[in-house]
Structure 1
Amino acid sequence: MSRLLLPVLCVLVLAGCANVPLESQPQVVPGERQGPGSGDVVPDPQPNIDPLSLVRAFVGATLKPGQNYAAARAYMDEQSRVNWRPSRSLTIIQNTFGTVYDTNPKPDPNTQIVNVRGSELGTLDQNSAFVPGSDSAFLQLKVRKQATGQWRIVDPPPDLYATESDFSENYTPVPVSFYSDSGTFVPDRRYVVAKPQSGLPGKVMDLLVSGPSPSLAGAVKNLLGEPVEIDTNVKNLDDGTLVVPLTGVTGVTDDVRKLMAAQIVLSLQYVTNARIRILADGAPLVPNHPDWRANELPSYSVSVSPGIEQLGMATVGGRIRSLSDGNPVPGPAGNGGYDVVSAAQSLDGKRLAVVERSGGGVRLRIGDVGHELPPVDIGGNTLSRPTWRSGTGEVWTVVDQYSVGRMVVGPTGQWTPLGVNATDLVQQGGITELRFARDGARVAAVIKGQLWVASVVGSGDSVSLREPRHLQPRDLEDVLDVDWDAQDNLVVVTKSPSQPVVRVTMDGQRMDAFNSSNLTPTVHGVTVAPGRPIVVADANGLWIASVLGEVWRPHGHTMKDADPFYPG
């Protein structure tokens, strides 16, 4: 979906208060930008600008380049310019919004109350993380005519508001990395001011040291937490090397130091191409390895990605077939021994978890591919398609939409049922689909046709789903299925004929639609994995595509009424 709209500035030049319009029509916010090299030279508002246009221009100036919101202060009276202390929280609204006069009578004809009305997309919290929102944005500003005859904002509130286009233009997303028990690094999507570019590495390092955002807290480890600190400023040397000076690393083992270096390099790769020199109290963090580049790191995603030989499967007519050749898989799962409702293959491709119809309900079976799959102690009226948790070998499924069950395998191969504290998530409604991110730190869920994401906190006997977030609450509905395209993106299929397949960032800040050509509603299934084509199932069969905008092509072994799945 297009996210950048051509800014339009519509200014009404008015002679006095009597001719001020009662409201302004919703339109794209003024988006005038300072050119390169303009520094903090901020022009005054246009002479004789009316209060409604003044407020619109003030919102448009919130994120303009300049120190301490100088461009926004230009729309205030002298006292407010000095005293205004904006908060660190930022509310992001749609590009179109309205400004209207407050209807309450005002004893002073030289004072106007202007209400800003629009749709809130979300907020940027104190941790520089995006939090989705769906409320109607409402901001009230007092505007007073000055002795010069010009209208200016007085007593401005501390809340900052900016449009989606301005936010996208002035902030850059950075997936900062934190370590997971699965042996991989988990991205935590954060947003930093894009200019000056030279300051980005320092901002990213500050985010790393401060730890994960609330949406991921408890699900990952911060190897750079206390007592680790940034010793001095992150800076570039004359030869282009970026120096990251740390302190507080005394006593840390070499293995952990290597992981710390990986956490830094994986995060900084999005904001610099420079060689990175990581120091601890003036010496190399990792002995004999002072300088780093991203291509020198081992692949921490190997353990959470399906093998290249695992080409996926599909449930068709109560049996499981291979997507590599369309044939039934060996054993009773493929030859009709079980009446299969849904299934999932382990990441290493060796095991199957199958939901089968049994005695008027359903139950779960788990075992080796090609062999008998013994039943395990989970059943009900409905079970969601199973999903495998990387790093633990656990299998999860949702029982009757409101209870999340997990099966844990012991040393002898015996599967034991354990519970999951999913109270925070099921309070939102019944869960029809649940899918693990392949790093095991998050789950995506479909609840009442809506897309939710939650973090997975804890291990052993105690595991909880925390910090549920509703993604794209305004624009995404009638969701039928979801899978993780990467650690920080999801692919979603919906009942919508116009947008049957969309990609959503893990925090919900951005949504993009895939080409709908060749697809026949309703698209009811999707599977995707790193390095693999996206496979969707519609009314006629299976289709594949790899990138946004690509026309969907028939799968080489398309099957009607198939539900495809890659390992995981």
Structure 2
Amino acid sequence: MTGRLLALLACVWVLSGCANIQDDTVPQIIPNSEAPTQKPPQGPAKDAEAITVVRDFIRNSGNTTAAQAYLTEEAKRAWHPDNQPTIIEDDFSTVPQSPDKEGDPNQITVEVKGTRMGILNQDKSFTAQQGALSQAVRLAKQDGQWRIAQVPANGLIVPLIEFNLNYRPVRLYFYDVTKSVVVPDLRYLPAAPSVTPSDVVQLLLLGPASSLDGAMRSALPRTATQRTNAALAKDNVLVVNLGDIGNPNREDKELIAQQVMLSLRDLASTVRIQAEGVPLVPERSEWRAADVQTLSDKTTPGAQYPGYVVVNNRMKSLKDLTPVPGPAGSGEYHVESVAQSGDGSDLALVERTNAGLQLRVGNTNVGLRVVYGPTTEMTRPTWQPGLSANQTGSNEVWTVADGAVVRLARTKDNNWYGLPVDYTSLSKFGKITDLRLSRDGVRVAVVADGKLYVGAVARTDNSTGVTIAAPKLVPRVTSAVSVDWLNPSTVMVATNSPTGPVWRVPVDGVEPERYSLSNLTQPLTSITAAPSRTVVVTDAVGMWGASEVGQIWQPFEGGQGPTAHAFYPG
């Protein structure tokens, strides 16, 4: 993955506010200095073979202006790319088809074969769709030169390398259903001639990606428009002038401003936000990314909570390996796995007993009560963050018990009870062996039959019902055994694949990155990750840590043997 894409996939949780626009400002277009330099279209080489014309057309298809040079004049007039390119692996083949004996020598069909990675949707979000691709391209002679006369499905086939060169990732920001937490939503816009602030605002106005329906919401009403294109004023401050936003209260105005500022922070350091030509929030003259408090504090584990490790079925601090006070650290509980809530206040612990596995939950300073079980199998628990507008209480804890997704909620009087969760979308994927909620509670990562899936946690206001929606297979990741969230946009997955034991994977699956193979010995059994923390895996020898792709794995906290498993809060 390119460094530019890596930098933009990293989640930066900064918020800001809004302000005034001077009456004498003159909008200007902001140039995109980070956009790749575009070469002028070269067109096909003279007397190029038909298969070469097709290959070069596909290689240039990330830039439709360049790609048009490979079409006949008639095809140019008929070609209206649907802006939903199919992204394929870089290696593909072009095979000429045998013409009929009485066929026209000035026409030929070339079959394109490759591996589909996914598509770019109309909302500019990427959806992974791994599988074989086979499409026929018809060519005709034009002035003695082969040109493409018919494009398959009137669309685009773009190799991944060209997609990375010609499309720029853009992070939009929305909220969870209670509007308590900001959540990134990754999109991709053509980089030529440039990505403008107006392009970004327009996508923001359209709302979250369709795959996140019910999991995210916008503070902007669906009626909202750009009254004028977002552009620079004379003093080089970006002006965003919104229209048709209704009559939001003060809180919603600030949420709107935060959304806009976050989504534009890669293009502008200061933004004035207007509604119908007047300041959205009268008290704020300008909004800057560094001016505001972050909302990510609610979901990023604090440094005072270093995490835990289970060694020989006893629970210890990951900081210094001291046993935790009480039965979890003394050996009274036969501990299998642990999850600490993001705010550090509670534990969920899977205990093995003579009757089977059971789930205990409680405050870190008091006893842990049994809330579920016994069962034969149970995955490591995972916490849903506190949702202020959730009538079921302040927290939820999830696990998978004997193949069923279990969701438990805490009442105001600190009791726990089961709540419905519709996970039928996962049933076709096979046995679930790991399930992790993102720390913002909006997404879910699932390992089922050795494959990795990422979906949305769809909720309805004032409803106890939850649906795991639109889970998508992550290509390239096989033999998966464990997954955890590195940040709101990225998961880490441990596998027993010979091609790579540990992968960093963006939530849309565009291009997973392989961590170093050095020092790890299969089988791997677990992984834990969190923002700004060392990724820790357990292999056949013990625990190992690494902080970046390419870094050599180092023994973590003395290794502690192959039965040791580390757990960060979440």
CA drift of 1:283 comes to 1.0
Residues 291-370 of structure 1: pairs in structure 2 closer than 5 A? 291-370=286-365
More displaced stretch, 483-492 vs 282-291: 282-291
The one-letter code sitting in structure 2 at the alignment partner of 1:235 is A
Pairing 1:201–2:197 present: yes
Structure 1 Cα separation of the partners of residues 275 and 168 of structure 2 = 28
Which of 161, 165, 170 matches 2:166?
Answer: 170
Residues 117-156 of structure 1: pairs in structure 2 closer than 5 A? 117-146=113-142, 148-156=143-151
CA drift of 1:508 comes to 0.4
Match of 2:466 in 1: 463
**Matched-pair contact (CA < 8 Å) for 2:491–2:505:** yes
For the structure 1 residues 380 and 177, does the alpha-carbon distance in structure 2 shift closer, same or farther, using more than 3 Å as the test? same
Structure 2 Cα separation of the partners of residues 408 and 449 of structure 1 = 29
Which of 180, 189, 192 matches 2:189?
Answer: 192
- The higher relative CO (CA closer than 8 Å, separation ≥ 6) is in 2
Structure 2 Cα separation of the partners of residues 246 and 201 of structure 1 = 13
CA drift of 1:498 comes to 4.6
The one-letter code sitting in structure 2 at the alignment partner of 1:512 is E
Structure 2 Cα separation of the partners of residues 94 and 306 of structure 1 = 37
Cα displacement string for residues 336-381 of structure 1 (whole angstroms, at most 9, x for unaligned residues): 1111121111112221111112344211111122432111134421
Match of 2:280 in 1: 285
Structure 2 Cα separation of the partners of residues 309 and 128 of structure 1 = 39
Q: What secondary structure sits across from 1:425 in the alignment?
A: helix
Match of 1:274 in 2: 269
**Matched-pair contact (CA < 8 Å) for 1:329–1:370:** no
CA drift of 1:233 comes to 0.8
Cα displacement string for residues 212-260 of structure 1 (whole angstroms, at most 9, x for unaligned residues): 1122111011112322211111111232111111012342111111111
The one-letter code sitting in structure 1 at the alignment partner of 2:111 is N
The one-letter code sitting in structure 2 at the alignment partner of 1:48 is D
**Matched-pair contact (CA < 8 Å) for 2:107–2:139:** yes
Q: What secondary structure sits across from 1:551 in the alignment?
A: coil
**Matched-pair contact (CA < 8 Å) for 1:99–1:116:** yes
Match of 1:13 in 2: none
Residues 27-66 of structure 1: pairs in structure 2 closer than 5 A? 42-64=41-63
Percent identical across equivalent pairs? 37
**Matched-pair contact (CA < 8 Å) for 1:3–1:164:** no
Q: What secondary structure sits across from 2:228 in the alignment?
A: coil
Pairing 1:102–2:103 present: no
Structure 2 Cα separation of the partners of residues 337 and 372 of structure 1 = 12
Which of 395, 398, 410 matches 1:396?
Answer: 398
Structure 2 Cα separation of the partners of residues 493 and 195 of structure 1 = 37
CA drift of 1:521 comes to 2.2
Structure 2 Cα separation of the partners of residues 103 and 290 of structure 1 = 69
Structure 1 Cα separation of the partners of residues 59 and 374 of structure 2 = 55
- With structure 2 as the length reference, what TM-score do the two structures score? 0.89
Structure 2 Cα separation of the partners of residues 156 and 351 of structure 1 = 58
Cα displacement string for residues 144-191 of structure 1 (whole angstroms, at most 9, x for unaligned residues): 123x22111113231211111110001111121111127111111111
More displaced stretch, 166-175 vs 371-380: 371-380
Match of 1:553 in 2: 554
Match of 2:223 in 1: 227
**Matched-pair contact (CA < 8 Å) for 1:408–1:418:** yes
Structure 2 Cα separation of the partners of residues 212 and 85 of structure 1 = 26
The one-letter code sitting in structure 2 at the alignment partner of 1:404 is V
Cα displacement string for residues 90-141 of structure 1 (whole angstroms, at most 9, x for unaligned residues): 0011111110122463622221111111111111011101111111112211
Match of 2:432 in 1: 431
Q: What secondary structure sits across from 2:130 in the alignment?
A: coil
For the structure 1 residues 211 and 36, does the alpha-carbon distance in structure 2 shift closer, same or farther, using more than 3 Å as the test? closer
More displaced stretch, 554-563 vs 89-98: 554-563
**Matched-pair contact (CA < 8 Å) for 2:2–2:164:** no
**Matched-pair contact (CA < 8 Å) for 1:481–1:492:** yes
Cα displacement string for residues 286-330 of structure 1 (whole angstroms, at most 9, x for unaligned residues): 112131111112111111111211011012222211111112111
Unaligned runs of 5+ in 2: 5-34, 387-393
For the structure 1 residues 314 and 539, does the alpha-carbon distance in structure 2 shift closer, same or farther, using more than 3 Å as the test? same
More displaced stretch, 548-557 vs 462-471: 548-557
**Matched-pair contact (CA < 8 Å) for 1:51–1:151:** yes
CA drift of 1:274 comes to 3.2
**Matched-pair contact (CA < 8 Å) for 2:109–2:137:** yes
Q: What secondary structure sits across from 1:151 in the alignment?
A: strand
* Count of equivalent residues: 527
CA drift of 1:566 comes to 0.7
**Matched-pair contact (CA < 8 Å) for 2:170–2:186:** yes
Match of 2:31 in 1: none
Q: What secondary structure sits across from 1:286 in the alignment?
A: coil
Structure 2 Cα separation of the partners of residues 268 and 2 of structure 1 = 21
Q: What secondary structure sits across from 1:134 in the alignment?
A: strand
**Matched-pair contact (CA < 8 Å) for 2:395–2:409:** yes
CA drift of 1:36 comes to 5.5
Match of 1:19 in 2: none
The one-letter code sitting in structure 2 at the alignment partner of 1:263 is Q
Q: What secondary structure sits across from 1:435 in the alignment?
A: strand
CA drift of 1:44 comes to 4.0
**Matched-pair contact (CA < 8 Å) for 2:524–2:537:** yes
Residues 365-384 of structure 1: pairs in structure 2 closer than 5 A? 365-384=360-379
Structure 2 Cα separation of the partners of residues 156 and 539 of structure 1 = 52
CA drift of 1:334 comes to 1.2
CA RMSD, aligned part only? Answer: 2.0
Unaligned runs of 5+ in 1: 5-33
For the structure 1 residues 246 and 420, does the alpha-carbon distance in structure 2 shift closer, same or farther, using more than 3 Å as the test? same
For the structure 1 residues 249 and 120, does the alpha-carbon distance in structure 2 shift closer, same or farther, using more than 3 Å as the test? same
The one-letter code sitting in structure 2 at the alignment partner of 1:131 is T
For the structure 1 residues 226 and 498, does the alpha-carbon distance in structure 2 shift closer, same or farther, using more than 3 Å as the test? closer
**Matched-pair contact (CA < 8 Å) for 1:320–1:328:** yes
The one-letter code sitting in structure 1 at the alignment partner of 2:198 is G
Structure 2 Cα separation of the partners of residues 557 and 285 of structure 1 = 55
Structure 1 Cα separation of the partners of residues 412 and 357 of structure 2 = 27
Q: What secondary structure sits across from 1:205 in the alignment?
A: helix
Match of 1:412 in 2: 413
**Matched-pair contact (CA < 8 Å) for 2:493–2:502:** yes
